[in-house]
Amino acid sequence: MALKLKIKKTLLKRKVEGVTKEGYYGRVITNGTKSFEDIVKQSTHGSTLDYREAELACKMMIDGIADSIKQGYIVDLGVLGKLYPAVNGKWDENADNLQLADMKPKVNYKAGDDIAAAVKGASLSWTTEAETDENTVSDDENTGGNGGGNNNPPSGELEG
C-alpha cells in the first residue's frame, strides 16, 4: 500500500530584505501519533515474547543509542536509518569566513532506503479543514529537531 500524505497550506511570516512578509508553505498533516507501548504491542502480537520484555529490551537499546550519540558516534539503526551529530551553519564561498560561533550543533536523521523510498513515492493531496482539525499537532511539536520528515518551515540555513 502506497503512503498517502495530506498537505496543509500554513501561514509563515518572514523578514525579506528587512520587511515582514506573509507567505505560505506546505506542512504534512500526519495520521496521529503511535506510542512506544502501542508499537511494542503491535510488534509482539502473535509472538511468544511478552510485550513488556520487548519493551525493556528496546528501552535498554535506546539508552545505548543515546549514549553513543552523546559520544559523537554515528548510530546505524538498520532499516530505520542513521542518527548522527551535525551542525547548522551559513554557507560562504571563502572557508576563512566560516566561524564556529555561527555553527549550531544538532542531531540529523537519515532515513533508511526503504523508508526514504516510501516517503519520496508518497502521493500528495491537500487536506480538508475537518482532517486538519482532527490530526493537527501543536506548533511546538512541529518546530523540534528534524531530519527526514520535514514538518518545519523553511529556515534558509544549510544543514550539514
Using one digit for the tens of pLDDT, what is the confidence trace for 15-59? 989 999 999 999 999 989 999 999 999 999 999 999 999 999 999
State the chain's mean pLDDT as an integer. 86
Sequence-separated (6 or more) residues with CB below 8 Å from residue 117: none
- Asked if residues 22 and 10 have their Cβ atoms less than 8 Å apart, the reply is no
Q: How confident is the model at residue 146 (pLDDT cuts 50, 70, 90)?
A: very low
Has residue 68 got a pLDDT over 50?
Answer: yes
> Could you tell me if 41 and 51 are in contact, meaning their C-beta atoms sit under 8 angstroms apart?
yes
Q: What is the pTM of this model?
A: 0.69
Q: What is the mean pLDDT of residues 51-71?
A: 97
Residue type (1 letter), 95: A
**What confidence tens digit (pLDDT) does each residue in 122-134 have?**
999 998 777 666 5
Average pLDDT of the segment spanning 140-150: 41
Helices (H) and strands (E) in the chain, counts: 5, 7
